[in-house]
A and B are shown apart, each in its own frame.
Chain A
């Protein structure tokens, strides 16, 4: 892909299209990926709260995990997760495991 040259870009590095950052996925930044073990998750919401990139999403629904029933579930948006590991560090039940990315 040929990137635009200096004369084709908006001056001063202004981003003129709102929300266009979504096109820049940052999955490639990861060395480790967080994997949520849902059976150990107590739905405390700390991973969702602490994620600096907002890449933990809270899904609504009915989720039957073993003998327990929950109305929320957490998932990682891997397109944007940079693999910082804060979620795993904060998780009080060690439900999030950082797994090496394999190329």
Chain B
């Protein structure tokens, strides 16, 4: 069945298809229409779930954490300040190994208040132990939320599905919806290692002494490596079942590219592809690499994709103030290359902050800059300095 859906509605339809048991909600722009749609599904009886109205995002995430501990399949969604408020629980959810799936249409952080898109909220959660996808179309949001449940319940880690706030969350695109019976078969309810059950009492979230803590952090390191395998396996199997798969990274005109822009999300990837087309028309071997799985980072795939190019630029949509280079993805890409002994001149481009318009011509200029000279350093595009 094909529907015209925003990415937020696509996320809601995926949650319905996954037949979740408990949804905890607190409104925040641009996430709100996801849980509004889910609220409709619950009230119409299309989805048999408990929908809990909480008093904050901290509480919403805590509520689904508790429900997940009791064995429920759960969902919540938030953005920006809401994600920041839930920050403490992000760490707790991953360390307690709760298979939560959360949609995160990305939005700029205050101050000044800005309800529009960049990735400063999502990038702040990169070290919290969550599996983080960044989707680039409504279809991919739908598919990734469903895949997310398989990964979350397979490796016992929480999964965030991020995408551009407004630019995707409120933009209609055609979305192919799966047969929900097939999704139910793709997402069987497996027995969990431990659940809260009065008949078999266990303790979740104990205090541990320095003799024990490090081992549980090391478990998370191991789990993240396993998560990478789960993401690959799930994506391949999903492709076999439903005909769509994405990989950990996605390339555009990469095979013979000399100059590559690396980026994430919908707007940046779409415009970068258009800019690469433009550059190709003018004889420049341009290509684009999109990071779909941000955590765990697809180090091998990124290094493989970039090893053969002359030079590349990483287009970031968030700022790490005071960092050697301010783009978070740039840091990951350069470190990945360094660890594999690949040293290439590269640029970090910061653009689209607070949804500053990113034009195709801007990214075309990045290809030109790459061609003109091996640059190093950070280029701030679209800002009035």
Q: What residues make up the interface of A, taking CB atoms closer than 8 Å to B?
A: 3-7, 9-16, 18
Contact = CB atoms under 8 A, between A and B. Distances in A.
Q: Interface residues of B toward A: which range?
A: 20 to 34
B212 interface: yes
24 contacts: A5-B215, A6-B215, A6-B216, A6-B218, A6-B222, A10-B193, A11-B193, A11-B194, A11-B219, A12-B98, A12-B194, A12-B204, A13-B95, A13-B205, A13-B206, A13-B208, A14-B193, A14-B202, A15-B202, A15-B203, A15-B206, A16-B194, A16-B202, A18-B202
A92 B382 CA distance: 72
**Chain B CB within 10 Å, residue with most, of A5, A6, A13:** A13
A19 to B, nearest CB: 9
**Chain B CB within 10 Å, residue with most, of A9, A14, A18:** A14
A15 B193 CA distance: 12
A12 B96 contact: yes
B156 A11 contact: yes
B206 A6 contact: no
B97 interface: yes
B100 to A, nearest CB: 13
Contacts of B179: none
Contacts of B216: 6, 9, 12-13
B201 interface: yes
A10 B194 CA distance: 9
Interface in B90-109: 95-98
**Chain A CB within 10 Å, residue with most, of B95, B193, B203, B222:** B203
**Chain B CB within 10 Å, residue with most, of A5, A10, A12:** A12
Contact of B212 (A3, A7, A18): A3
A14 B203 contact: yes
B222 A12 contact: no
| Closest 7 pairs (CB-CB, A-B) | A12-B97, A15-B203, A6-B215, A6-B218, A18-B201, A14-B194, A12-B96
A13 B194 CA distance: 11
Interface in B171-221: 193-194, 201-206, 208, 211-212, 215-216, 218-219
Interface in B119-177: 156
A80 B203 CA distance: 19
Interface in B57-108: 95-98
Given A12-B96, A13-B95, 15 more contacts: A3-B211, A3-B212, A4-B215, A6-B218, A7-B219, A7-B222, A10-B193, A10-B194, A11-B223, A12-B216, A15-B203, A16-B194, A16-B202, A18-B202, A18-B203
A15 B194 CA distance: 9
A9 B215 contact: yes
